[in-house]
Amino acid sequence: MDPITQILNMVFTVEAFLLIFVIVLLKSSVKFVPQNRAWLIERFGKYQSTKEAGLNFIVPFIDRIAADRSLKEQAQDVPSQSAITKDNISLIVDGVLYFRVLDPYKATYGVDDYVFAVTQLSQTTMRSELGKMELDKTFEERDLLNTNIVAAINQAAEPWGIQVLRYEIKDIVPPQSVMEAMEAQMKAERVKRAQILESEGDRQANINVAEGKKQAQVLAAEAEKAEQILRAEGEAKAIIAVAEAQADALREVGAAADTEQGQKAIQLDLATKAIAAKEAIAKESSVVLLPDNATDASSLVAQGMSIINTLNKNQKFQ
């Protein structure tokens, strides 16, 4: 092989080596950080910078990725543990902790393992908060208990760059004896409520019956009142009708009596009634006193007519 060829081969080899070196150098210096993640860069073993999502550059062979921290919300199961309430009841409690990293630098250099640290902190805080409450309150005020635990953890975890978002108690298990007592209490409470509801139902039924009777009496009284009013109105109308009929009859008799034929009819009627009256008197008594002209019908008629004429004159004067 001639020297020129050797030189060319050497040149090609050097160029290939340089190309490979450049590629490796670029690959080592260019870093693509995923979304919601943070890479902490150390230079010569000392913190240099924090690289966020996107395209980033580092110095190859000098800078290195010391930690990769997720900025997403994380859920961490809190193992079951024993806790004692204010009224000295032992409980088994477990929960779920939701948190996220706010400051990757503090989460990396402020604590060795922030997940383990925040889990242990949640357990101790839970025991502390349960010790401030009685057994009944732990079931009734679970939301308040969760809020107090979150506030206490956030205060303690601030130097670690961790923010606790929520803490949820999954289960609270009291001792078997307490559960039996609670079950008996709940049963007694249900019986009490049932008796109260039954008594309230009986009371309402009695009230409804009394109200029904009262309404029936009121309706009966109103019906009787209406019946009496209708009866009185009917009787009044009947009396008025009879009076009007009698008045009409008297007017008809008066009109007829004002004529010559009417006068004769009256005379005949009076004579007939006088004879009938004397016959009745004769039947009732064995002694009858008669005037001298008592047997004369014309005299009787004359007496009756004189009485009628007198009455007519009085009415005219009035």
pLDDT of 163: 92
Q: Treating both helix axes as pointing N-terminal to C-terminal, what angle do 260-284 and 176-257 enclose, rounded to 10 degrees?
A: 110
Phi and psi of 87, rounded to 5°? -95, 25
Q: Tell me what pLDDT residue 96 has.
A: 92
Q: Model-level pTM greater than 0.85?
A: no
Which of 63, 76, 72 has the alpha carbon at shortest distance from 113? 76
pLDDT per residue rounded down to tens, the chain (318 residues): 566 666 666 666 767 777 777 777 777 788 888 898 999 989 888 888 889 888 888 888 888 888 889 899 999 998 888 888 888 888 888 889 999 999 999 999 988 888 999 999 988 888 888 888 888 788 778 888 888 889 988 988 889 999 999 998 888 888 787 777 777 877 888 888 888 888 888 888 888 888 888 888 888 888 888 888 888 888 888 888 888 887 777 777 767 666 767 666 666 666 677 667 666 666 665 544 445 454 455 565 565 556 556 655 655 555
158-197 in b/e burial notation, b at 16+ Cβ within 10 A? eebbbbbeebebeebebeeeeeeeeeeeeeeeeeeeeeee
Q: Residue 36: which of 75, 69, 2, 61 has the closest Cα? A: 69
Separation of alpha carbons 7 and 191, rounded Å: 105
Q: What is the pLDDT of residue 212?
A: 86
Q: What is the pLDDT of residue 116?
A: 92
Rounded to whole angstroms, the Cα distance separating 144 from 96 reads 16
Residue 95 CB partners (closer than 8 Å, separation 6+): 78, 122, 126, 167, 168, 169, 170
User: Could you tell me the two tokens for 227?
Assistant: 């019946």
Full set of structural domains in the chain with CATH: 3-69 (no CATH), 73-174 (3.30.479.30)
- pLDDT tens digits, one per residue of 106-165: 999 988 888 999 999 988 888 888 888 888 788 778 888 888 889 988 988 889 999 999
Cα 303 to Cα 294: distance, rounded to the nearest angstrom: 11
Question: Contact at 8 Å (CB) between 28 and 65?
Answer: no
Q: Check residue 4 and give its pLDDT.
A: 66
CB 176, CB 115: distance < 8 Å: no
Amino acid 284: pLDDT = 61
The predicted pLDDT at position 318 comes to 52
- What residue has token string 């060319």? 8
Q: What would the two tokens of residue 226 be?
A: 């209406």
What SS3 state is found at 216? Answer: helix
